[in-house]
Amino acid sequence: MIGAIAGDIFGSVYEGAPAPGKDFPLFIPASRFTDDTVLTIAVAQAILDGESYGSSLRKWGRRYPNAGYGGWFRHWLQAEDAPAYNSFGNGSAMRVAAVGWAFDDLERVLREAAKSAEVTHNHPEGIKGAQAVAGSILLGRTGTGKQEIARFLSDRFGYDCGVSLADLRERGGFDVTCQGTIPAAAAAFLESVDFEDTVRNAISLGGDADTNACIAGAIAEAHYGRVPGSLQRETLQRLTSALRSPLLRFAENYSLPLVEKPEEGRGG
């Protein structure tokens, strides 16, 4: 959860910009949360309160209408009766982190991930992307090693986890599909030495940097144990109090590895 949100904030200023390499500041004044964070919180709050995923996504999306949503999602957000739109974009995968923390059985995690995705991203690839990320988080937090997670992504979902960061950097481009994003986020995690290295790897690929780092950060947090305290504190301070509240409640309910609560002070 905090790993996903931290990755989103780190990557927010590099989205669509030239790939920055790995030696860049994680936080600058312009670093901010985006739709990845808002919708991650929406899924968490739905689980906490037994609300439908669709209802929670609409409620939070409308509360933060300028967070950077894609066109199809923005249309869905504004219309009460809009159906799912058969998307295989990475939006289903970037918002699913809470599912991997809230449920302890793999098949239950995969079912819930599908439910969280299919309200908008009901294309098989959109559902698969959410399941892959949530399943990897569950495996990571329960002690499964990197190579086993790579096999899970490859054998169960068909993602190429043999692609290297070097190859991905050479390819470049801006890929917002689950098919393109999950292997990139996986490579950032698999070639990392710790949480910070993971998100630096993800952002160094350029393109959809905030979502790449959001997904990679979510998996890395589960595997490495927690986000370093200094990065957690700065991340939490960059959230509004409205976003922090369900995050901290979720952390308490599901024993997420958070540092002490930040000082209050930012409204919203």
With contact defined as beta carbons under 8 Å apart, do 29 and 11 qualify?
no
What is the token pair recorded at 103? 């449920």
Taken in order of first residue, the domains within the chain and their CATH numbers are 2-253 (1.10.4080.10)
DSSP 8-state symbol, 226: S
pLDDT bracket for residue 21 (50, 70, 90): confident
Q: How do residues 187-226 score in pLDDT, each as one tens digit?
A: 999 999 999 999 999 999 999 999 999 999 999 999 999 9
Q: Which amino acid is at 93?
A: A
Comparing CA positions, the residue from 169, 99, 157 lying closest to residue 128 is: 157
Q: Say what the pLDDT of residue 265 is.
A: 44
Mean pLDDT in residue range 109-119? 98
Residue that the structure tokens 């808002």 belong to: 38
Alpha carbons 8 and 13: distance in angstroms, whole number: 9
pLDDT above 70 covers a percentage of the chain that reads 96
Length, in residues, of the chain: 268
DSSP of 40-80: HHHHHHHHHHT--HHHHHHHHHHHSTTS---HHHHHHHH-T
What is the token pair recorded at 41? 């919180």
Q: Say what the pLDDT of residue 16 is.
A: 84
Residue that the structure tokens 């309200």 belong to: 119
Mean pLDDT in residue range 150-154? 98
Question: Contacts for 152-157 with beta carbons within 8 Å, 24 or more apart?
Answer: 153/182, 153/186, 156/132, 157/128, 157/131, 157/132, 157/182
DSSP 8-state symbol, 143: T
pLDDT at 264 > cutoff 80: no
pLDDT at 228 > cutoff 70: yes
CA 7 to the chain's CA centroid: 8
The answer to which of 100-104, 227-231, 254-258 has the lowest mean pLDDT is 254-258
Q: How do residues 159-173 score in pLDDT, each as one tens digit?
A: 999 999 999 988 888
Q: Say what the pLDDT of residue 192 is.
A: 98
Q: Which amino acid is at 15?
A: E
pLDDT bracket for residue 182 (50, 70, 90): very high
No. of helices (H) and no. of strands (E), the chain? 15, 0
Q: Say what the pLDDT of residue 266 is.
A: 43
pLDDT bracket for residue 19 (50, 70, 90): confident
pLDDT bracket for residue 262 (50, 70, 90): low
With contact defined as beta carbons under 8 Å apart, do 179 and 88 qualify?
yes
With contact defined as beta carbons under 8 Å apart, do 89 and 241 qualify?
no
Q: Indicate the pTM of the whole model.
A: 0.95
Comparing CA positions, the residue from 29, 59, 26 lying closest to residue 41 is: 59
